[in-house]
Structure 1
């Protein structure tokens, strides 16, 4: 993702980030998007031909409102956003500590956060994408295979969203994990 890890910053929002990612994709890829990356993957699936979309701990709309009960309360999101913007490393480490009780995994993830932090610009843009994006209609319009993998204990993507995904006839896998389902021992089997 732009501005994360070793990727360069890209000014803009959802479309600009997706356009940058599209530049490096092979023809007819399988896209897997985790969390915010799921929004990017849905949007990319609208722009180019892909063979399959896998959403990992993701939702087409992250913020709860009057017609969407499967998101984060706007006040809680603002508090989370403020915490991250005040101290990115500390905020991410606190968030991750709530997602796993495996101390070895936690240490490894914390080292990764310190080694490859997101830039403040990318953080701000990513939070804005999470706050403003509503890709429900777009996801419903896709004609490619879509698979969703969720964690039953996820604090950002409520497990109740299963009802909405099932109503869209989307293939669904639930793991006994939080917002980091790739830490679950059966994760690799669930995406095959």
Structure 2
């Protein structure tokens, strides 16, 4: 069973977090926008307070879909963005917002906007040696706000992801290519990228713009929604 909670008033907005974290990552974002939107957050399978879900990307998305309100704005960060693309091909979504995300995270023949698979494995292996310590170091490189970091670190310590879910998530990130599904979407899409992101090359902005997708670039890393200049823009 997946954990979710809903707060606020307004148009439905659903937030999907990324690998290794949980929905508490969005607490500051919720506090900022809960008077404008009815916000639902969901812990991904095996992350935070959610149970493990056997299976791959589609199984994860099918469970998430059960918790979605009708025709929501769907926001996905990192791995959550990959899930959001897949979900938007399965059910009605009014708008898609991708934060530091890509339809294909790994470099392949003809696709130069990802990270080398070997480097990706090294990154994940380093984190997995001590997940709590690795994630804390990761977020410390993304924000200088001590209050924000304290809250994030507490969430990382108290709600760790399961090993099974971490392995499932890595498999999704390394193996799934959703470029075709992305190109099939006929809804407003906006993308927010970090100029200093080491996981999503900023060059992918060219590809998104070729697909007539709105792109915003912030002077930040892989957590652009923590940047003070980040703003939700609902089309």
TM-score category, normalised to shorter length: over 0.9
Q: How does 1:31-110 map to 2 (within 5 A)?
A: 31-110=74-153
Cα distance in structure 2, aligned partners of 1:191 and 1:144:
12
Cα distance in structure 2, aligned partners of 1:52 and 1:189:
12
Q: Contact between 2:114 and 2:199, CA under 8 Å: does it hold in 1?
A: yes
Alignment match of 2:58 (pick from 12, 15, 26): 15
Bigger mean CA deviation after superposition, 10-19 or 179-188: 179-188
| Structure 1 residues 70 and 114: CA distance shift in structure 2, 3 A | same
Bigger mean CA deviation after superposition, 88-97 or 32-41: 88-97
Q: Give the alignment's TM-score, normalised by structure 2.
A: 0.77
Alignment match of 1:146 (pick from 189, 197, 212): 189
Tell me by how many angstroms 1:191 deviates. 5.4
Q: Contact between 2:61 and 2:86, CA under 8 Å: does it hold in 1?
A: yes
User: What do the CA deviations read for 1:31-52 (whole angstroms, capped 9, x no partner)?
Assistant: 1000000000000011111111
* 1:126 paired to 2:169: yes
| Structure 1 residues 191 and 84: CA distance shift in structure 2, 3 A | farther
Bigger mean CA deviation after superposition, 103-112 or 31-40: 103-112
Q: Secondary structure at the match of 1:10?
A: coil
Q: Contact between 1:173 and 1:190, CA under 8 Å: does it hold in 2?
A: no
Gap runs ≥5 in structure 2: 1-43
Cα distance in structure 2, aligned partners of 1:186 and 1:115:
29
CA RMSD of superposed structures (Å): 1.5
Q: Secondary structure at the match of 1:28?
A: coil
Cα distance in structure 2, aligned partners of 1:36 and 1:191:
21
Tell me by how many angstroms 1:189 deviates. 4.5
Gap runs ≥5 in structure 1: none
* 1:162 paired to 2:205: yes
Q: Secondary structure at the match of 1:188?
A: coil
Moved over 4 A (4+): 189-192
Which fold has the larger relative contact order, with Cα–Cα distance below 8 Å and residues 6 or more apart in sequence?
Answer: 1
Q: Give the alignment's TM-score, normalised by structure 1.
A: 0.94
Cα distance in structure 2, aligned partners of 1:84 and 1:20:
27
Partner of 1:181: 224
Q: Secondary structure at the match of 2:89?
A: helix
